[in-house]
């Protein structure tokens, strides 16, 4: 009603002649407009908050939007439209400063506070905001430029920019972009402080990039983009030597003051980490997945990241480019659907770097890598935009460095979005026959990466490309072609023997002739010896059976025999020894290192059988000693055995002395990495020989049955290393069957017999591939669970057997779930969780050990995530709510959960180890079974796989493993009747990572 009255009075004033009474009335109307705008701001803030806090709950338990919300926005919309109409008429009155001031003040409040409330995610009703935006643009154009300066700040830019990103209608988008341009075109060199104006320029540039993709907004968005770029260019550059440490905080103050949303403050913490070297992250990213932001706040966060990105181009001393990319990448991990909004800014930065060329090469490569990363390509629209730009960079005329870099990124794009494979394959097919050798090399390398990721389809077509590249003039192209073939053999797309026969024809080489092989280029030789490690056993056809109905054992394929012989000869040749490369040029030395590393790596993958070791020949040989030398009278199996021993000893010398030799060529880091890989391969070959010797000369009791002549490291179907039981059939046949153990338990239900039953679960299956149902396994466990603790087990060995029996039976439960259909896995996991909770109510805290054992057995699949998380939280939170009666059981369960968490290098593992360590110190010289057993399980999981390397997760696992080993040695020393200094010195040496002087002296004293 007030708005209608003001409108009527204003109409009369404008129609009448000017006099003092009309001027007074006009001033009152202008003041009323300001008052109504301020009141509207307060009304929206209070009413919307009150309406959203009252959620209507229906009979079905679902939450529905309160009808008051729609009423609030409808009234607010009419209110705002009435104010805009009044302002549009006020600005038409000439030479009236009061009206101008009132309109400028009202527009400042509307743009900063009122408009951001009308986001599409705030209400379900649809309001046409186009007329309001158009009216505001008209009013602003009628105001003097100096009146716009107060509202042209970073806060308004962020709020209007976030609002524009939530709009869906093209007409509204276009009017909003024009509104932003109109507000900020007043900025000049003297307005606003440097940091705020810089941030404003970044926001405007980002918005211009986003909306230029819309045809209806192209003109206004282009103008907005140019305005933002000009503001960034005019922002004074900060000299590096006078850099103020508080600049990042000042920028954060501007960002924080731009919004009143409580949740948004946590988002600011993430941004602070992106531009600060020292400030730690206070909110993990997983938090945002559980408690997502609203759409408007998501757009605000995205706009912040994109603005920082554009700022990093013009002012790298203020914001680092890599940090801006890191923030956007982290943000998109939580809100992947916004990926398509980021792509235009990344493309704009890439084009800028292309124009600048050499000074921005690293930024260009980082931008291209970001466009091919999973956070962009996994989104269909983002993938479309990224591909449209990247595909334009692989055409003729593009600089070779850029073109080759984009080609190398294609496999990563395909791994994130397999729908891009055919397009990538077509690009690679055209590039692999290019005149430029660098392009051919990049295309062949990309093909190699696709094969490594097992993404290749239509292998027949790919083979034609690869065969043509085997005779390429560029050695690196030949190397990558050989790598493609190697990965195809690994993925079982091609047979090893067939590949070798084709290679011998294409390369015109006989792999049984070492001199011909050595005539190949170093790159080709490196690729060939790597391929030689993919041979193995030859599978027989299903219908090729012996007379007694049993299948023949697989034999080593003929080409695998030739490959192993070649590798052994190459490893024994003096011209490939690393020590002979010192006098060569740097690249020749490193090439020799790589070839030798590949030779040892190929030999390390073979079992004793494929390596040509025969147990009967070694048993018949009477010269088993370290001083034996190879003679012509020896048979081939013995010669092979002695050659491999010599190769292992030589390899140890090479690997350990490689760092010192590398100082001559100045490639210390690369040499250390190669030395570590070489040492790992040598160790693997040595283990194969030791296991073979144990098979041949070890105890008869543990030698037969399960062991064949090729030792415990066998190849499954192709001769690849596979763990086998060390126990012979005679020993296994003497063990009681599961039925007799069950009878024993039924006649005498004790802890020992119950433990034996738990161990026997699953062993009665005649066919190992036929798994028990999870429900049946749980029933068997329930039958004897109550008798596990009916008598105390004091001896730690018996306690360990009891715990291991629980671990075994819960592992059997998990295997039965793995064999089920994916559709019922989650239901089965919930069934197991419910059963263990029932056990805890009936049988006590031993059930929590079963819970922890189930967590340890399960993998990280999505079907079991909820159940595993529930169990983990139950045990971890049980420390403070007196869930456990026994301290031993509490520590044991914490250890099992920590072992599960250590797979993913979870930071909580360190804290759990601290708890176990503290318990050991509190017990003093007494034993603490739960803590010690838990530490043993943790370190067992930590050392699985490779723990030699510089990767952060590998370094973390190595550090935690050495820490636990030191604790266990110290605990072992406390168990002795008298403390032994050697044990303590060994613990200290493990902890610090190198042998101490005290340990060396202690070992010398022991020898004496």
pLDDT band at 252 (very low <50, low <70, confident <90, very high): very low
Pairing state between β 63-64 and 56-57: antiparallel
Among residues 295, 300, 274, the alpha carbon closest in space to that of 337 is found at 295
Q: Name the range with the highest mean pLDDT among 260-274, 440-454, 862-876.
A: 440-454
Note the Cα 307 to chain centre separation in Å: 26
Residue 372 has pLDDT above 90, yes or no: yes
Residue 249 has pLDDT above 50, yes or no: no
Least confident of 370-384, 708-722, 782-796: 708-722
The pLDDT score that the predictor gives to residue 211 is 93
Give me the phi and psi of 953, to 5 degrees please.
Answer: -70, -40
Give me the phi and psi of 252, to 5 degrees please.
Answer: -65, -35
Residue 335 has pLDDT above 80, yes or no: yes
Residue 860 neighbours by CB distance under 10 Å? 10
The pLDDT score that the predictor gives to residue 546 is 46
pLDDT band at 40 (very low <50, low <70, confident <90, very high): confident
Residue 925 has pLDDT above 80, yes or no: no
Residue 280 neighbours by CB distance under 10 Å? 8
Answer for the pair 487, 459: CB distance below 8 angstroms, yes or no: no
Among residues 267, 258, 390, 243, the alpha carbon closest in space to that of 320 is found at 243
Least confident of 328-342, 349-363, 450-464, 894-908: 349-363
| 395-454 per-position pLDDT tens digit | 988 899 999 999 999 999 999 999 999 999 999 999 999 999 999 999 999 999 999 999
Structure tokens at 54: 């009252």
The pLDDT score that the predictor gives to residue 666 is 56
pLDDT band at 58 (very low <50, low <70, confident <90, very high): very low
Structure tokens at 739: 């039925």
Answer for the pair 781, 805: CB distance below 8 angstroms, yes or no: no
The pLDDT score that the predictor gives to residue 790 is 63
Residue 218 has pLDDT above 60, yes or no: yes
The pLDDT score that the predictor gives to residue 751 is 82
| 517-568 per-position pLDDT tens digit | 988 998 999 999 999 999 888 765 555 544 455 556 678 889 999 999 999 9
Question: If you search the block for the tokens 């000074």, which residue do you land on?
Answer: 359
The pLDDT score that the predictor gives to residue 889 is 85
The pLDDT score that the predictor gives to residue 586 is 62
C-alpha–C-alpha distance, residues 926 and 932, integer Å? 12
pLDDT band at 927 (very low <50, low <70, confident <90, very high): low
Residue 617 has pLDDT above 60, yes or no: yes
Percent of the chain having pLDDT more than 70?
75
User: Burial level of 991, CB count in 10 A (0-12/13-18/19+)?
Assistant: middle
Mean pLDDT of 42-56: 62
3-class state of residue 57 by DSSP: strand
pLDDT band at 662 (very low <50, low <70, confident <90, very high): low
Residues facing 56 on adjacent strands: 64
3-class state of residue 157 by DSSP: helix
Residues 6+ apart with CB under 8 A from 773: 816
Question: If you search the block for the tokens 């803030």, which residue do you land on?
Answer: 45
Instruction: Write out the H or E segment, with its range, that includes residue 759.
Output: helix 751-760
In terms of pLDDT, which residue wins out, 823 or 221?
Answer: 221
The pLDDT score that the predictor gives to residue 1008 is 41
Least confident of 178-192, 405-419, 762-776: 762-776
DSSP 179: H
The pLDDT score that the predictor gives to residue 973 is 72
C-alpha–C-alpha distance, residues 327 and 319, integer Å? 12
In terms of pLDDT, which residue wins out, 211 or 793?
Answer: 211
The pLDDT score that the predictor gives to residue 430 is 93
Structure tokens at 48: 């919307």
Residue 557 neighbours by CB distance under 10 Å? 21
Can you give the pTM of this predicted structure?
0.64
The pLDDT score that the predictor gives to residue 624 is 45
The HSE-up count of residue 148 (CA atoms within 13 Å, CB side) is: 21
The pLDDT score that the predictor gives to residue 904 is 82
Residues 6+ apart with CB under 8 A from 385: 213, 340, 343, 344, 347
| 932-963 per-position pLDDT tens digit | 888 889 988 888 877 777 778 888 888 888 88
Structure tokens at 545: 């059976």
| 89-148 per-position pLDDT tens digit | 888 887 778 888 888 888 888 888 888 888 776 655 577 889 899 999 998 888 887 777
Note the Cα 817 to chain centre separation in Å: 26
Answer for the pair 678, 654: CB distance below 8 angstroms, yes or no: yes
Residues 6+ apart with CB under 8 A from 489: 495, 496, 499, 531, 534
| 664-697 per-position pLDDT tens digit | 555 566 777 877 888 889 889 989 988 888 777 6
**Dihedral class, residue 375 (left if φ above 0, else alpha if ψ from -120 to 50, else beta):** alpha
Residues 6+ apart with CB under 8 A from 518: 525, 573, 575
Percent of the chain having pLDDT more than 90?
22
Rounded to 5°, angle at Cα 711 from 710 and 712: 130
DSSP 241: G
User: Burial level of 256, CB count in 10 A (0-12/13-18/19+)?
Assistant: middle
First to last CA, the chain: 107
Answer for the pair 938, 902: CB distance below 8 angstroms, yes or no: yes
């Amino acid at each position: 009603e007030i708005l209608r009255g003001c409108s009527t009075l204003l109409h009369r004033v404008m129609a009448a002649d000017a006099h003092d009474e009309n001027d007074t009335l006009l001033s009152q109307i202008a003041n009323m407009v300001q008052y109504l705008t301020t009141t509207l701001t307060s009304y929206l803030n209070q009413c919307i908050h009150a309406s959203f806090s009252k959620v209507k709950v229906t009979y079905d338990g679902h939450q529905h939007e309160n009808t008051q919300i729609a009423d609030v926005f409808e009234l607010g919309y009419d209110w705002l439209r009435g104010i805009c109409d009044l302002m549009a008429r006020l600005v038409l009155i000439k030479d009236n400063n009061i009206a101008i001031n009132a309109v400028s003040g009202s527009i400042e409040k509307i743009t900063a506070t009122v408009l951001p409330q009308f986001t599409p995610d705030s209400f379900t009703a649809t309001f046409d905001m186009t007329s309001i935006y158009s009216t505001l643009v008209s009013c602003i154009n009628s105001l003097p430029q100096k009146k716009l300066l107060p509202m042209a700040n970073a806060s308004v830019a962020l709020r209007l920019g976030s609002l524009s990103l939530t709009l869906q209608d093209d007409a509204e988008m276009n009017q909003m972009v024009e509104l932003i341009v109109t507000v900020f075109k007043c900025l000049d060199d003297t307005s606003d402080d440097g940091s705020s104006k810089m941030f404003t320029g970044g926001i405007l540039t980002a918005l211009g990039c986003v909306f230029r993709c819309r045809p209806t907004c192209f003109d206004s968005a282009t103008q907005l983009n140019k305005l933002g770029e000009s503001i960034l260019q005019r922002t004074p550059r900060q000299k590096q030597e006078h850099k103020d440490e508080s600049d990042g905080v000042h920028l954060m103050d501007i960002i924080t003051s731009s919004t009143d949303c409580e949740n948004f403050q946590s988002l600011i913490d993430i941004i602070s980490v992106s531009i600060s070297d020292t400030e730690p992250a206070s909110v993990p990213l997983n938090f945002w997945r559980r408690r997502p932001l609203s759409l408007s706040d998501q757009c605000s966060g995205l706009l912040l990241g994109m603005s920082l990105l554009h700022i990093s181009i013009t002012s790298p001393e203020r914001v680092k480019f890599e940090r801006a990319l890191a923030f956007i990448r982290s943000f998109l991990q939580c809100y992947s659907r916004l990926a398509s909004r980021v792509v235009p800014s990344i493309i704009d930065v890439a084009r800028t770097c292309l124009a600048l060329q050499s000074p921005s090469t690293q930024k260009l490569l980082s931008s291209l890598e970001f466009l091919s990363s999973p956070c962009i390509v996994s989104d269909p629209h983002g993938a479309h935009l990224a591909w449209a730009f990247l595909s334009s960079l692989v055409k003729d005329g593009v600089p070779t460095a850029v073109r080759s870099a984009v080609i190398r990124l294609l496999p990563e794009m395909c791994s994130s979005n397999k729908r891009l494979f055919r397009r990538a394959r077509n690009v690679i097919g055209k590039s692999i026959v290019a005149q430029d050798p660098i392009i051919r090399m990049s295309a062949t390398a990309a093909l190699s990466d696709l094969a490594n990721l097992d993404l290749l389809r239509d292998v027949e077509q790919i083979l034609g490309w690869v065969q043509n590249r085997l005779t390429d003039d560029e050695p690196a192209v030949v190397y990558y072609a050989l790598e493609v073939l190697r990965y195809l053999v690994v993925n079982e797309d091609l047979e090893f023997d067939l590949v070798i026969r084709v290679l011998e024809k294409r390369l015109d080489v006989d792999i049984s002739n070492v001199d011909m092989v050595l005539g190949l280029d170093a790159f080709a030789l490196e690729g060939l010896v790597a391929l030689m490690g993919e041979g193995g056993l030859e599978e027989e056809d299903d219908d090729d059976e012996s007379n007694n109905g049993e299948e023949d054992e697989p034999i080593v394929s003929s080409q695998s025999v030739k490959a192993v012989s070649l590798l052994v000869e190459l490893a024994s040749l003096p011209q490939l020894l690393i020590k002979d490369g010192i006098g060569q040029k740097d690249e020749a030395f490193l090439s020799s290192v790589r070839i030798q590393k590949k030779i040892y790596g190929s030999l390390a993958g073979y079992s004793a059988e494929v390596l040509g070791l025969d147990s009967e020949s070694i048993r018949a040989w009477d010269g088993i000693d370290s001083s034996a030398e190879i003679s012509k009278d020896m048979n081939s199996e013995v010669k092979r055995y002695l050659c491999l021993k010599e190769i292992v000893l030589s390899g140890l010398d090479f690997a350990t002395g490689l760092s010192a030799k590398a100082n001559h060529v100045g490639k210390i880091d690369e040499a250390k990495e190669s030395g570590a890989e070489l040492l790992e391969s040598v160790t693997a070959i040595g283990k194969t020989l030791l296991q073979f010797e144990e098979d041949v000369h070890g105890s008869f009791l543990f030698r037969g049955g399960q062991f064949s002549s090729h030792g415990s490291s066998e190849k499954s179907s192709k001769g690849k290393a596979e763990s086998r039981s060390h126990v012979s059939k005679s020993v296994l046949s003497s063990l009681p069957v599961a039925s007799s153990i069950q009878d024993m338990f039924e006649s005498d239900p004790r802890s020992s017999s119950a433990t034996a039953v738990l161990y026997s679960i699953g062993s009665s299956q005649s066919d190992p591939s036929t798994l028990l149902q999870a429900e049946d396994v749980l029933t068997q466990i329930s039958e004897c669970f109550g008798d596990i603790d009916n008598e105390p087990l004091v001896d730690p060995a018996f306690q360990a057997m009891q715990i291991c029996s629980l671990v075994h039976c819960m592992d059997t439960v998990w295997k039965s779930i793995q064999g089920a259909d994916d559709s019922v896995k989650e239901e089965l996991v919930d069934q197991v969780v419910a059963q263990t909770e029932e056990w805890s109510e009936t049988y006590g805290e031993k059930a929590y050990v079963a819970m922890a054992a189930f967590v340890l057995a399960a993998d990280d699949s999505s079907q079991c995530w909820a159940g595993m998380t529930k169990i983990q939280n139950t045990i971890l939170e049980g420390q403070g709510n007196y869930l456990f009666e026994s301290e031993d059981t509490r520590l044991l369960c914490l250890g099992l959960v920590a072992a599960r968490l250590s797979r993913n290098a979870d930071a909580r593992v360190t804290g759990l180890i601290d708890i176990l360590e503290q318990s050991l110190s509190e017990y003093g010289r007494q034993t603490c079974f739960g803590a010690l057993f838990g530490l043993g399980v943790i370190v067992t999981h930590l050392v699985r796989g490779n723990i030699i390397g510089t990767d952060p997760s590998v370094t973390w696992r190595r550090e935690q493993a050495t820490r636990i080993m030191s604790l266990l040695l110290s605990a072992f020393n406390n168990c002795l009747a008298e403390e032994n200094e050697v044990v303590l010195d060994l613990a200290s040496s493990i902890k610090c990572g190198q042998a101490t002087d005290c340990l060396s002296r202690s070992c010398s004293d022991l020898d004496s």
